[in-house]
Amino acid sequence: MVDTLTPSQRSERMSRIRSRDTKPEIALRKALHGLGFRFRVHKTGLPGKPDLVLPKYRCVIFVHGCFWHRHPGCKVATTPKSNTGFWVEKFTRNVERDKRVSKQLEEAGWHVITVWECDLDTHAKALSTAGVLGRDLRMLLAAKSK
Ligand SMILES: [Zn+2]
């Protein structure tokens, strides 16, 4: 089979495969769904391809891995001791991209919520995180309809 992807398309696809349907993301989806929220997953056409999109609330949710996206103060967000320069540069790029994407979405009128992986790593935490999110979402909707 002929591979017709350009290198950038390929790396884009690879990163999507890696980041798609991760365990914490599924835990959050299940918990939110259980609370009655309906959403789309991996809707294309939005900056940064948010993990969950709730059009009714004009809200997007990113589920971020604490290590890759540098969860502030999190014990998972360590820096490897070898090749430190490489890692620091990579982390900086990730964090900058996250900021840029959030800004683009906010400018387009979206409310952006980031959920960290460590807040979803047990069933109980996923439920309580979804509960907090649910309250925020209802408040958003109430504010919108004023
Ligand atoms: Zn964390």
Whether residue 10 is contained in a domain is answered as no
Whether residue 8 is contained in a domain is answered as no
Whole-number Cα distances in Å, 107 to 5, 50, 118: 31, 15, 28
Is the pLDDT assigned to residue 72 strictly greater than 90?
yes
* DSSP string for residues in 79-119: --SSSHHHHHHHHHHHHHHHHHHHHHHHHTT-EEEEEEGGG
Encode pLDDT of 81-112 as tens digits.
999 999 999 999 999 999 999 999 999 999 99
Tell me, what's the pLDDT at 17? 46
CA–CA dist 59, 137 (Å, integer): 8
CA of 7 from ligand 1 middle (Å) equals: 32
CA of 143 from ligand 1 middle (Å) equals: 29
Is the pLDDT assigned to residue 11 strictly greater than 70?
no
Encode pLDDT of 12-61 as tens digits.
554 544 566 789 999 999 999 999 999 998 777 899 999 999 999 999 99
pTM of the model: 0.83
CA of 142 from ligand 1 middle (Å) equals: 30
Whether residue 52 is contained in a domain is answered as yes
Whether residue 6 is contained in a domain is answered as no
CA of 99 from ligand 1 middle (Å) equals: 17
CA of 79 from ligand 1 middle (Å) equals: 14
Which structural domain, as residue segments, surrounds residue 68?
Answer: 17-144
CA of 76 from ligand 1 middle (Å) equals: 6
Tell me the average pLDDT of the chain.
89
CA of 122 from ligand 1 middle (Å) equals: 13
CA of 73 from ligand 1 middle (Å) equals: 8
- Total domain count for the chain? 1
Whether residue 26 is contained in a domain is answered as yes
Whether residue 9 is contained in a domain is answered as no
Tell me, what's the pLDDT at 44? 77
Tell me, what's the pLDDT at 143? 87
Q: CATH number of the domain that 86 lies in? A: 3.40.960.10
What's the helix, strand, coil split of the chain in %, to 5?
Answer: 55, 10, 35
Tell me, what's the pLDDT at 19? 60
Whether residue 1 is contained in a domain is answered as no
Encode pLDDT of 116-145 as tens digits.
999 999 999 999 999 999 999 999 999 877
Tell me, what's the pLDDT at 145? 76
Encode pLDDT of 41-51 as tens digits.
877 789 999 99
